[in-house]
Amino acid sequence: MGAAGVTRVTAKADVFNLAKIEDFAGNYAAVGIGATVGGGGGATVLRNQHGVEIALLSTTQGASVMVGVEGIRLTLAN
């Protein structure tokens, strides 16, 4: 629903179960509990309606507060 106070976020992701590029776009929801990996880092697995999974590793700098359901909508641009 909202986030506040993040000054910088860096992320790296691996994508799994991508049969065709059209399956990448969609609504992704967290399918596992996010884990803290130390030093402001976290790990989350997201899955969309096509079964595509994104294993996301992120690091943040600065304080943050987040409220709401974890999820994201991704689209492909030409």
> pLDDT tens for residues 37-65?
556 677 888 999 999 999 988 776 665 55
The pLDDT score that the predictor gives to residue 37 is: 56
List Cα–Cα distances, 78 to 14, 18, 75, in angstroms: 21, 18, 10
Residues written for the chain? 78
List Cα–Cα distances, 30 to 44, 49, 72, in angstroms: 7, 12, 9
Higher pLDDT, 63 or 18: 18
- Report whether pLDDT(66) > 60: no
Compute the half-sphere exposure of residue 56: CA atoms within 13 Å on the CB side of its CA: 24
pLDDT band at 68 (very low <50, low <70, confident <90, very high): very low
